C-alpha cells in the first residue's frame, strides 16, 4: 500500500474524529475576550496537548478577558473600531507575551501558539512585522522552548485594510524572511482563506492554485500545518469541501491529490478541520482528507478530549 503524507489531527471544538483517527491535541481559544481558559484546559485529558489559538482580529473586541483587569496592558488594547491592531509595535509584542503567560498560568505549556498577522495600514512590510515579533519569539523561547509558534495567513476581517500575510506572494515573502532571519516562526496555512485572497474558488482552477502554491514551494518545509473548512451560501466554516468547491467533485479531488503530492516530503504536519456546522460536515471533510493523507491510527485519548464537552461549544471563536 502506498505511503501517504502524514497529517496530525488537532481536535476542533467538540467535534469527534472517527474512532480510528488519533487526535491527541485540542485547539483552545485564547483571544482577547476569552473568559474560561482555565476551565477549558482543566477539562482536557491531562495526557492531551493543546494548541493555543490567539487573537485573530476578525471583528470588534471588548477586551474583557480577566487578564486585562489583572495586568497593565494598555498597548495591547490598540484597536480601530474595536478590531485589535495586532503587532502594533514592540511594546505590543511584549504585552502580548504577558497576556499569554497570564492566560496559561500554571497550566501545562501549549504545544502550538497560533498567532495572526498585522494589518497593512500600520505595518507595511514583513521587516516591520518581524522587528516587532522578534522580542515575542525570544520571550516564548526562554519560557516554553518546546512550544511551536505558527502564524496563519488571513483574508477576512471587518478591519478596513488587508492583513499583511494575505495571498501567495505575501506567504512567499514571509517564508523567505523567516529563512533569512533564522526565526523559529512557522506557517499554519489556511487553505480556504488563501482561496479567498486569490479571488474566490469560483475564479480559480487547479492550474491557478498550483501556480500559487509553487510561489512558496521553496520554503514549504516551514509550513507546519493546514486549516481546512467548508463555505456554504457565503458563510465561512460551514459545510463540507463539496460546498467549498461548489459541488465540483472532480475539482475537489484533483486539488486534494495535488495537496497530497505537494506535501509528500517526509514532514509531519498538523491539520485543523475548522467546521462550525454539523458533525456530518466535519466527518465528510475528514473522510476526504484521509483518502490522500495518513491521519493515523486508534486514538487512546479521544475519550479524554471529549470530557471537555460543551465547554468548547459556543465559544466566541467562530469566524476566523
Q: Which helix (H) or strand (E) holds 190?
A: strand 186-190
**What does the alpha-carbon distance between residue 240 and residue 172 come to, in Å, rounded to a whole number?**
28
Task: Give the three cell numbers for residue 39.
Answer: 476551565
**What does the alpha-carbon distance between residue 79 and residue 57 come to, in Å, rounded to a whole number?**
9
Q: Are strands 186-190 and 148-152 parallel, antiparallel or unpaired?
A: parallel
CA 271 → CA 11, 18, 198, 267, 289, distances in Å?
A: 9, 15, 21, 13, 10
CB atoms within 10 A of CB 146: 8
Q: How far is CA 276 from the centre of its chain?
A: 15
Name residue 26's beta-bridge partners. 11, 50
pLDDT for position 46: 84
Closest to 17 (Cα-Cα) out of 199, 231, 279, 252: 279
pLDDT in tens, the chain (320 residues): 679 999 999 999 999 999 999 899 999 999 999 999 999 998 888 889 999 999 999 999 999 999 999 999 999 999 999 999 999 999 999 999 999 999 999 999 999 999 999 999 999 999 999 999 999 999 999 999 999 999 999 999 999 999 999 999 999 999 999 999 999 999 999 999 999 999 999 999 999 999 999 999 999 999 999 999 999 998 999 999 999 999 999 999 999 999 999 999 989 999 999 999 999 999 999 999 999 999 984 433 443 444 444 444 444 444 45
Q: How many residues does the chain have?
A: 320
Domains, the chain, in order of start with CATH, read: 7-312 (3.20.20)
SS percent in the chain: helix, strand, coil, step 5: 40, 15, 45
**pTM across the whole model:** 0.93
Task: Give the three cell numbers for residue 172.
Answer: 512567499
What's the 3-state SS for 191-256? HHHHHHHCCCHHHCCHHHHHHHHHHCHHHHHHEEEEEECCEECCEECCCCHHHHCCCCHHHHHHHH
pLDDT for position 249: 98
Closest to 12 (Cα-Cα) out of 21, 1, 3: 21
Classify burial at 310, counting beta carbons within 10 Å of its beta carbon; exposed 0-12, middle 13-18, buried 19 or more.
exposed
> Collapsing DSSP states into helix, strand and coil, what is residue 307?
coil
**What does the alpha-carbon distance between residue 68 and residue 155 come to, in Å, rounded to a whole number?**
27
pLDDT for position 1: 62
Task: Give the three cell numbers for residue 275.
Answer: 467546521
Q: How far is CA 295 from the centre of its chain?
A: 18
**What does the alpha-carbon distance between residue 100 and residue 147 come to, in Å, rounded to a whole number?**
13
Amino acid at each position: 500500500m502506498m505511503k501517504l503524507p502524514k497529517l496530525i489531527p488537532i481536535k476542533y471544538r467538540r467535534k469527534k474524529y472517527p474512532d480510528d483517527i488519533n487526535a491527541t491535541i485540542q485547539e483552545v481559544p485564547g483571544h482577547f475576550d476569552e473568559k474560561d481558559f482555565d476551565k477549558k484546559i482543566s477539562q482536557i485529558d491531562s495526557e492531551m496537548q493543546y494548541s493555543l489559538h490567539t487573537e485573530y482580529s476578525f471583528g470588534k473586541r471588548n477586551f474583557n478577558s480577566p487578564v486585562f483587569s489583572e495586568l497593565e496592558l494598555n498597548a495591547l488594547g490598540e484597536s480601530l473600531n474595536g478590531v485589535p491592531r495586532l503587532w502594533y509595535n514592540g511594546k505590543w509584542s511584549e504585552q502580548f507575551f504577558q497576556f499569554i503567560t497570564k492566560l496559561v498560568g500554571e497550566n501545562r505549556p501549549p504545544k502550538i501558539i497560533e498567532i495572526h498577522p498585522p494589518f497593512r495600514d500600520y505595518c507595511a512590510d514583513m521587516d516591520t512585522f518581524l522587528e516587532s515579533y522578534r522580542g515575542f519569539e525570544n520571550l516564548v523561547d526562554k519560557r516554553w522552548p518546546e512550544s511551536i509558534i505558527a502564524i496563519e495567513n488571513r483574508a477576512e476581517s471587518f478591519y478596513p485594510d488587508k492583513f499583511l500575510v494575505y495571498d501567495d506572494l505575501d506567504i512567499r515573502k514571509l517564508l523567505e524572511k523567516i529563512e533569512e532571519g533564522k526565526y523559529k516562526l512557522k506557517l499554519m496555512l489556511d487553505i480556504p482563506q488563501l482561496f479567498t485572497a486569490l479571488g474566490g474558488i469560483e475564479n480559480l482552477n487547479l492550474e491557478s492554485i498550483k501556480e500559487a502554491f509553487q510561489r512558496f514551494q521553496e520554503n514549504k518545509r516551514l509550513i507546519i500545518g493546514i486549516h481546512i473548512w467548508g463555505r456554504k451560501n457565503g458563510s465561512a466554516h460551514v459545510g463540507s469541501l463539496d460546498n467549498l468547491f461548489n459541488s465540483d467533485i472532480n475539482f475537489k479531488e484533483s486539488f486534494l491529490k495535488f495537496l497530497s503530492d505537494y506535501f509528500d516530503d517526509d514532514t509531519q504536519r498538523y491539520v485543523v478541520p475548522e467546521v462550525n456546522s454539523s458533525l456530518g460536515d466535519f466527518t465528510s471533510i475528514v473522510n476526504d482528507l484521509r483518502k490522500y493523507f495518513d491521519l493515523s491510527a486508534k486514538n487512546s485519548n479521544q475519550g479524554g478530549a471529549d470530557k471537555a464537552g460543551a465547554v468548547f461549544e459556543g465559544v466566541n471563536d467562530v469566524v476566523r
